[in-house]
Amino acid sequence: QVQPVESGGGLVQAGGSLRLSCAASGRTFSSYDMGWFRQAPGKERGIVAAISRSGASTYNADSVKGRFTISRDNAKNTVYLQMNRLKPEDTGVYYCAASFGRAWVPTRVAEYDYWGQGTQVTVSS
């Protein structure tokens, strides 16, 4: 079992950058695929990026390709989301989540077992 805790959110102008971090407690962090999701007001929570247990495979939503990069450091039990060239439509609460026992990199909310509390990202125009 892991418990993700997000940090690094805030207010940034369009075109700026932020790096989100997610520290996960537990000694089996490297056994979990990890994902970042976001939820804007009035919208459903959706995948932003995901990374496999080893870090060898990643997934990025079309809306963030070329701008966001997901990475992980298993020695530090931490996953990161580097967000560049931010746009107002990137605004929302960003959640870190952990998934166990999948044969693929999961991209759906229902495929994730443990969730953090979320961190707010606001991009002003």
pLDDT tens digits for range 71-99 = 999 999 999 999 999 999 999 999 999 99
Q: What angle do CA 22, 34, 27 make, to 5 degrees?
A: 70
Angle at 107 between CA 102 and CA 112, to 5 degrees: 60
Q: How confident is the model at residue 69 (pLDDT cuts 50, 70, 90)?
A: very high
pLDDT band at 106 (very low <50, low <70, confident <90, very high): very high
Mean pLDDT, to the nearest integer, of 104-108? 94
Residues in the chain: 125
Looking at residue 27, what is its pLDDT? 77
Residue 113 has pLDDT above 80, yes or no: yes
Q: Where does the pLDDT of residue 103 fall: very low under 50, low under 70, confident under 90, or very high at 90 and above?
A: confident
Helix or strand run (H / E) with residue 22: strand 18-25
Copy the structure tokens of residue 17: 């950058």
Confidence of residue 1 (pLDDT cuts 50, 70, 90): confident
Q: What is the C-alpha to C-alpha distance for residues 123 and 10, in angstroms, rounded to an integer?
A: 8
Tokens describing residue 81: 């989301």
Q: Residue 102: its pLDDT value, please?
A: 86
Q: Summarize pLDDT for 14-67 with one digit per residue, the tens.
A: 999 999 999 998 879 999 999 999 999 999 999 999 999 999 999 999 999 999
- Pairing of the two strands 119-124 and 10-13: parallel
User: Residue 108: how many CB atoms within 10 A of its CB?
Assistant: 12
The two three-digit tokens of residue 11, written as one number: 């207010």
Task: In whole angstroms, give the CA distance from residue 26 to residue 96.
Answer: 15
